[in-house]
A and B are shown apart, each in its own frame.
Chain A
Amino acid sequence: MKALTFRIELARLAFAKVFGMISPRAYVSGFGAVQCEKVDEPKPHGDDWVMVKPTLAGICGSDVMQVFLEAAADNPLSAVVSAPHVMGHEVVGVVVDVGSAVKKVARDDRVAISPWLPCAVRGLAACEACERGDYALCSNFFDGKIERGMHLGNCRDVGGGFAEAMSLHESMLFPIPEGVSFDDAVLADPFAVALHAVLRAPPVKSETVVVWGCGSLGLMTVQLLSVLFPGVTILAVDHKRRLQPLLEKLGATKLFTTRGRELIAEMGDYMKAPIRKPFFGLPWLQTGVDKIYDTVGAPSTLEVGVRICKPRASIVMVGVARPRRFEWTPLYFKEISLLGSNAYGMETLEGRRAHGIEIYLDLLDKRRLALDGIVTHRFPLEKFPEAFMAVYDKRRSGAVKVLFQP
């Protein structure tokens, strides 16, 4: 079958890094780490495994970081990855074959896929985190009957959705209700990530929150805040002015397109918060917003973030940018809580406890979400250089969510 594979081979990585300095296209060239190639059909790892034919698979920001080799050399997650692997972890598809012990789905079912590979998938008894439903915090990503890897798209033994076929444990599958399209369902993973992040520090009525970064994760955050937390003022921050109409539709109160000093000044005006201007360094606000959902997680967003929130505010760090120094004094002085948020698992919303993906599909089924305009591009697998370049250079391509149609 055809699949996009990622190989950790010194020669390929070196080639991509060197020529990538000249043009980013080198990363997606024939000599880069990612290739479209023929590989063996995946095999089930037990009689509770299911064969799925992917119909749509979204490109995640973390895929782009991987393809363009943007991770820092000291990133500890390199320990939880096995290669080569088939990429792609935001996937919907159709069940084509089921093992003898499978109960949850049947042949021809349309399914959304949770890409995580915790205890249940590995044939292990549930660890403490899995027992609580915190699958992304599982302590066994190194163990069990499949190779190390935290989710599809970074595990050698369980290939991702940028492929013509996948073999998955039944616990990873969530049937898509009849009235819900593949086009909407394929956003299940970023929605669940956004929901989990918001639930780390849910806004209280009439609070003012910032959603930082308006990629698919940020847009999902805006939409779910406006639908599930009415009365909250939602300030979106992204330098892409063209997102204004889409953000308005999704429920953002206002879009800020500046950064750094200008952004702090604009936020100060908007929040009517006195601004303090040091001789060196960035100004800061004495009070400010109640919560920040930072889907970028970069030093620059954190440095400004701790300056525009009020004392005792929470900043949820859901983005995964490369670490650098930032001036963090207000974190202690304003007693800010910086809360990490990783993916999703079992979530409690409106009194119901269910998997994040189930919650999403249910909200879609009840027509509570309106997500038109988030998916902007679709490509076949062979066109992967164009697809990754579209995400890499969003300014030129106008991309928000880019999909593969395997």
Chain B
Amino acid sequence: MRGVRFDMSYPRLAAARVAGFFSTNGFVASFGPIGLREMPDPKLIADDWVSVTPTVTGVCGSDVKQIFLDADVDNPLRTLISFPHVLGHEVAARVVEVGPRVRRVKVGDRVAVSPWLPCEVRGLPPCERCKSGDLSLCDNFTRGSFAPGIHAGNCRDVPGGYSDRMIAHESMCFPIPDGVTDEEAALSDPFSVALHAIRKAPPKPGETALVYGCGPLGLLTIHALARLYPDVRIIAVDLHGYLEPFAREMGAHDYVIGAGAELIEKIAGLVSARVESVAMALPWVTGGVDRIYDTVGIAETLETAVRLIKPLGTVLLVGVGTPRRYEWTPIFFREISVIGSNAYGIEDFDTGRMHGFTHYLELCASKRLDPTKMVTHRFPLEAYREAFVTARDKLRHASVKVVFTQSSK
């Protein structure tokens, strides 16, 4: 089979860094760590595994960061992953082979694949975290029957969806209901991330929620808030104007372009908060918004967020930017809660207690959600370079969600 593989080789990394200095395309050059490679089909790891062919696979922001070498060297998550690996973890697929003990799906089924690799997938008895349904907080990402990895797409033994063939434990497979397209199903992962973050600090009726960043995660957060949390005023924030129609389509009430002091003043105007100016530094507001879902998670957005939130308010850190210094005094002074949110698991919602994917697919089937308008670019696997550059140079390509559409071979 073919797969877009990331090879952790220092010469390749160095070459890509140098070439990337001259052009974005340099990062995806043939001498770099990323390439579409020919490799043997993966074998089922146990009797309860299945083999699938990806049909639609979304390009996630974290893949883009990895491919364009955006991580800091002291990022501790490196201890939980293994190389080389085939990328891609937002997958809709067709089942082509099932192990003898598989019950949940059968050959020919359309499935959304949850990429996480917790205890059950690793053939281990569930840890405390898995028992409580917190699959992304599992204790055992480095143990069990195959190589370390938190999810398909960063594990040597479980290739991701940028490929012709994947394997998955049956617990990772969620049948796609009739009436829900593969493209819709491929958004199960980012939607579940958004829903999980909102569930950690859900807005109450009458509150104002600010969604920072209008990439796919931000847009899905807006969509979930608009469709599932009535009576919440949603303010969408981004640096770029081209995302406004998408944010409005997903349900944002206000769209604000800007950063720093200018943004603080604009938002303060929207929510009638008083701006307190500070000599030589960013202003802050008295009053402010009730909740902030920061889907960017970089120093600049956090610095602004802690100045816009009400005292005792909550900032959800959903994005995973590289850490930098920011002025954080308001966290203590205004008793803000900054809460990290990682992926998803079994979620409580008014539709019941189910896996995030099940919630999403049911909400799509009942037409309570309809997020596919955010898919702007579709590429075949061979055009992976173009796909990644399109996802990276968002402004130039006016891209939002970029996906691979794969023919089943």
Query: Are A and B associated in one complex?
Result: yes
A residues engaging B (CB < 8 A)? 72-80, 129, 134, 136-137, 139, 142, 200, 276-284, 286-287, 297, 299, 307, 311-312, 317-320, 323-342
Known A327-B323, A339-B337: A78·B76 in contact at CB below 8 Å: no
Could you pull out 11 A-B pairs where Cβ atoms are within 8 angstroms? A73-B281, A78-B279, A78-B281, A79-B284, A134-B335, A281-B73, A329-B323, A337-B339, A338-B339, A339-B338, A342-B332
Q: How far is the CA of A319 from the CA of B327 in the complex (A)?
A: 14
B binding-site residues for A, Cβ under 8 Å? 72-80, 129, 134, 137, 139, 142, 200, 274, 276-284, 286-287, 297, 299, 307, 311-312, 317-318, 320, 323-342
6 closest A-B pairs by CB: A281-B74, A74-B281, A332-B340, A276-B79, A340-B331, A137-B311
Contacts A73-B280, A134-B311, A330-B76; A325 near B323 (Cβ below 8 A): yes
- Chain B residue nearest to A79 in the complex (CB): B278
Contact A74 B282 (CB under 8 A): yes
B residues near A340, Cβ cutoff 8 Å: 330-337
8 Å CB contact of A137 from B283, B324, B334? B334
Residues of B within 8 A of A134 (CB): 311-312, 335
Whether the pair A76, B282 counts as a contact (CB closer than 8 A) is yes
Are the C-beta atoms of B331 and A280 separated by less than 8 Å? no
Whole-angstrom distance between the alpha carbons of A48 and B323 in the complex? 50
B137 touches A334 (CB 8 A): yes
B331 contacts which chain A residues (CB < 8 A)? 317, 338, 340
Contact in complex: B137, A335 (CB < 8 Å): yes
The reply to whether A137 and B79 form a contact with Cβ atoms under 8 Å apart is no
Contact B337 A282 (CB under 8 A): no
* Shortest Cβ distance from residue B173 to the other chain A in the assembled complex, whole angstroms: 25
A340 CA / B339 CA spacing, docked (Å): 11
- Are A278 and B78 in contact, CB atoms less than 8 angstroms apart? yes
Does the CB pair B323–A326 fall under 8 Å? yes
A332 touches B318 (CB 8 A): yes
- Asked whether, in the complex, the Cβ of B341 is within 8 Å of the Cβ of A75, the reply is no
Hey, which chain B residues are within 8 Å of A286, CB to CB? Answer: 139
What's the minimum C-beta distance from B322 to chain A, rounded to whole angstroms? 9
CB distance from A349 to the nearest CB of B (A): 18
> In terms of DSSP, what is the predominant structure of the interface of chain B?
mixed
- How many residue pairs at the A-B interface have CB separations less than 8 Å? 163
| Residues in chain A near residue B329, CB distance under 8 A | 75-77, 320, 323
Docked CA distance A72–B287 (Å)? 24
In the docked arrangement, what's the CA distance between A312 and B137, Å? 9
With the chains together, A147 CA to B94 CA distance in Å? 69
- Find A334's partner among B72, B330, B342 (CB 8 Å cutoff): B342
The winner among A74, A80, A335, A342 for most chain B CB atoms within 10 A is A335
A72 to B328, CA, bound (A): 11
Minimum C-beta distance from B117 to chain A (A): 15
Given A281-B76, A335-B200, 17 further pairs, Cβ under 8 A: A74-B282, A76-B307, A76-B330, A79-B279, A137-B334, A139-B311, A142-B286, A278-B78, A283-B76, A286-B139, A330-B340, A332-B342, A333-B342, A335-B339, A336-B340, A340-B336, A341-B335
Q: How far is the CA of A139 from the CA of B320 in the complex (A)?
A: 32
A37 vs chain B, min Cβ distance (A): 26
Q: Indicate whether A200 sits within 8 Å of B335 (C-beta atoms), given known contacts A134-B312, A142-B276.
A: yes
Closest approach, in angstroms, between the C-beta of B20 and any C-beta of chain A?
20
B268 CB to nearest chain A CB (Å): 13
Decide if A311 touches B134 in the complex (CB within 8 Å): yes
Report the Cα distance A254→B320, complex, angstroms.
35
Given A134-B312, A139-B287, A333-B342, check contact A297 B332 (CB 8 Å). Answer: yes
Q: Which residue of A lies closest to B319 (CB)?
A: A332
- CB pair A75 B75 closer than 8 Å: no
State in angstroms the CA–CA spacing of A325 and B78 once bound together: 19
List chain B residues, Cβ under 8 A from A323. 325-329
Assembled-state Cα–Cα distance A330/B330 (Å): 21
Q: Shortest beta-carbon distance, A208 to chain B, in Å?
A: 15
A142, A282, A311: the one contacting B76 at CB < 8 Å is A282
The residues of A that contact B78 with a CB separation of less than 8 Å are 278-280
Among B200, B281, B286, B338, which residue has its beta carbon within 8 angstroms of that of A75? B281
Closest to B331 in A: A340
Query: A277 to B79, alpha carbons, bound, how many Å?
Result: 6
**B332 & A341 in contact (Cβ 8 Å cutoff):** yes
CA distance A336 to B318 in the complex (A): 12
A197 to B286, CA, bound (A): 22
Q: How far is the CA of A278 from the CA of B326 in the complex (A)?
A: 25
Residues of A within 8 A of B330 (CB): 76, 340
User: B311 touching A129 by the CB < 8 A rule?
Assistant: yes
Q: Across the two chains, which residue of chain B brings its CB closest to A311?
A: B137
* CB atoms of A331 and B335 under 8 A apart: no
Complexed CA–CA distance, A283 and B78 (Å):
11
Query: Which single residue of chain B is at the shortest CB-CB distance from A200?
Result: B335
Contact B328 A278 (CB under 8 A): no
CA A29 – CA B320 in complex, angstroms? Answer: 47
Q: A139 — which chain B residues lie within 8 A by C-beta?
A: 274, 286-287, 311
Contact across chains for A79 and B276 when beta carbons are under 8 A apart: yes
Task: Give bound CA distance, A329 to B134, whole Å.
Answer: 18
Q: Is the CB of B327 within 8 A of A307?
A: no
Q: How far is the CA of A286 from the CA of B331 in the complex (A)?
A: 26
Contact partner, A331, options B129, B137, B324, B338, Cβ 8 Å: B338
CB nearest neighbor in A for B297: A332
Complex Cα distance, B79 from A283, in Å, reads: 9
Q: Do A77 and B333 touch (CB < 8 A)?
A: yes
What is the chain A residue whose CB lies nearest that of B72?
A327
Q: How far is the CA of A318 from the CA of B329 in the complex (A)?
A: 11
Complex interface: chain B residues within 8 A of A72 (CB)? 327
B278 near A78 (CB under 8 angstroms)? yes
Contact A76–B284 (Cβ < 8 Å): yes
Nearest residue in A to B312 (C-beta to C-beta)?
A: A137
Residue pair B340, A334 in contact (C-beta under 8 Å): yes
Enumerate chain A residues within 8 angstroms of B279, measured Cβ to Cβ.
78-79
From the candidates B200, B325, B334, name the one contacting A324 in the complex (CB within 8 A): B325
Interface centre among A279, A320, A325, A341 (most CB of B within 10 A): A325
Closest CB in chain B relative to A319 CB, distance in Å: 8
- A327 contacts across to B, CB distance below 8 A: 72, 74-76, 323
For residue B129, which residues in chain A have a CB less than 8 angstroms away from its CB?
311
Query: Which residue of the partner chain A has the closest CB to B327?
Result: A74
Complexed CA–CA distance, A320 and B327 (Å): 11
CB distance from A322 to the nearest CB of B (A): 9
Q: Closest CB-CB distance, B107 to chain A, in whole Å?
A: 36
Give A47 to B243 CA distance when docked, in angstroms: 59
The answer on a CB contact under 8 Å between A332 and B334 is no
Residue on A nearest B137 in the bound complex, by CB: A311
The one of A76, A77, A282, A324 in contact with B74, judged by C-beta atoms closer than 8 angstroms, is A282
Contacts of B73 in A (CB 8 A): 280-281
> Taking CB as reference atom, which chain B residue is nearest A324?
B325
Return chain A residues, CB-CB under 8 Å to B324. Answer: 325
A276 touching B327, Cβ below 8 Å: no
CB neighbours of B320 from chain A (8 A):
329, 332
CA of A296 to CA of B87, assembled, Å: 41
B281-A329 in contact (CB<8A): no
Q: Which of B297, B323, B326 has the most CB of A within 10 A?
A: B323
- Residue ID in chain A nearest B318 by CB atoms: A332
Given contacts A134-B311, A287-B139, A311-B129, contact A342 B334 (CB under 8 A): yes
Decide: A76 and B77 in contact? CB cutoff 8 A. no
